Chain A
Amino acid sequence: MLPITPTDFTPWASLGGGILIGLSAVMVMALFGRIAGIAGITAGAATSDDRGWRIAFIAGLIAAPLLWLVASGAMPEQTVSGNLPAMGIAGLMVGVGTALGSGCTSGHGVCGLARLSGRSLAAVITFLVFAAATVFVLRHVIGGAV
């Protein structure tokens, strides 16, 4: 794990970005009648009968930093851990967990809560608690050993 990178509290940018994410979820519902869960769209892009728009959606996600670059003159700020084994395990767990649990931060956290789904609320509480506990253990118990 990298040393802890300090970040600023950005309520307005975060709220604005959140509204855009919500807007995208509404577009997917109004246009395609589907939940904008990225884990589900990812799986559907490979296996669904209707793959085209899902592949295009993921292409849109991948293209977003380029639009950001054009609009702001700089690539988005990002600090990714260089601990490759840890990142591999993290990726595997995110994939398995979102598939088994039928959703991720967007599918359960945004779309599920917007539908007032009890299942999604249970999932959101569970993944937030486990994620916070993981960070606590890695940063404050093991102390950056990963």
Chain B
Amino acid sequence: MRPFFGFLSGLVFGIGLILSGMADPAKVLNFLDVFGAWDPSLAFVMGGAALTAFIGYRLAWRQSAPVLLPKFDIPTASEIDVKLLTGAAVFGIGWGIGGFCPGPAWTALTLGAPGTLIFVPMMLIGVFAGRRLKSI
């Protein structure tokens, strides 16, 4: 059951990325190019997604536990620290160079562009390096 619903959730997420335009780096880079070829479409992606999740989360949290696991596991950290802001800045620069954040990079793998085939393995190496850096 869990792998099936995991797959289904990923599929819905991926279709959302494609339909929204978020899966196309050209569209992402134009969204970020506020003083140039600005395409504000992606503001609607984030807005629509966050609002849907805002409402849906509150419905989900009416249950005492999630359907397929024994308990909710939600981040509790509240401190805005150096690691958070440094990480976000480094991520932002990488996002601005390549036009990919992690979700769209995964969906792009299927299309097999050379840039994607370099980006994804380097992202995975980065994730593990970043986790080590975080635990220092």
Interface residues of A (CB under 8 A from B): 2, 4-11, 13-36, 38-39, 42-43, 46-47, 50, 52-68, 75-84, 86-102, 104-106, 108-119, 122-124, 126-136, 138-140, 146
A81–B15 CB distance below 8 A: no
Least CB distance, A83 to chain B, in whole angstroms: 7
Shortest CB distance B106–A (Å): 4
For the complex, would chain A's binding face be called helix, strand, loop or mixed by DSSP majority?
helix
Chain B residue nearest to A59 (CB atoms) is B7
Residues of B within 8 A of A (CB): 2-27, 29-30, 32-37, 39-54, 56-57, 59-61, 63, 65-69, 71-75, 77-80, 83-103, 105-111, 113-116, 118-131, 133-134
User: A94 contacts which chain B residues (CB < 8 A)?
Assistant: 91, 94-95, 98, 100-102, 105, 119, 123, 126
Knowing A9-B39, A31-B66, A94-B126, the reply to whether A56 touches B10 (Cβ < 8 A) is yes
Give the 3 A-B residue pairs with the shortest CB-CB distance, closest first. A95-B126, A101-B87, A60-B10
Closest CB in chain B relative to A52 CB, distance in Å: 5
| Contact yes or no, B22 A17, CB < 8 A | yes
A36: which B residues are within 8 A, CB to CB? 9, 13
Q: Which residue of B lies closest to A128 (CB)?
A: B92
Residues of B within 8 A of A139 (CB): 33, 36
Bound complex: CA of A145 vs CA of B50, how far in Å?
36
Given contacts A6-B30, A43-B131, A106-B49, 13 further A-B contacts (CB under 8 A): A14-B42, A31-B66, A52-B6, A64-B10, A68-B18, A93-B91, A97-B93, A111-B53, A118-B78, A123-B87, A130-B92, A138-B96, A138-B97
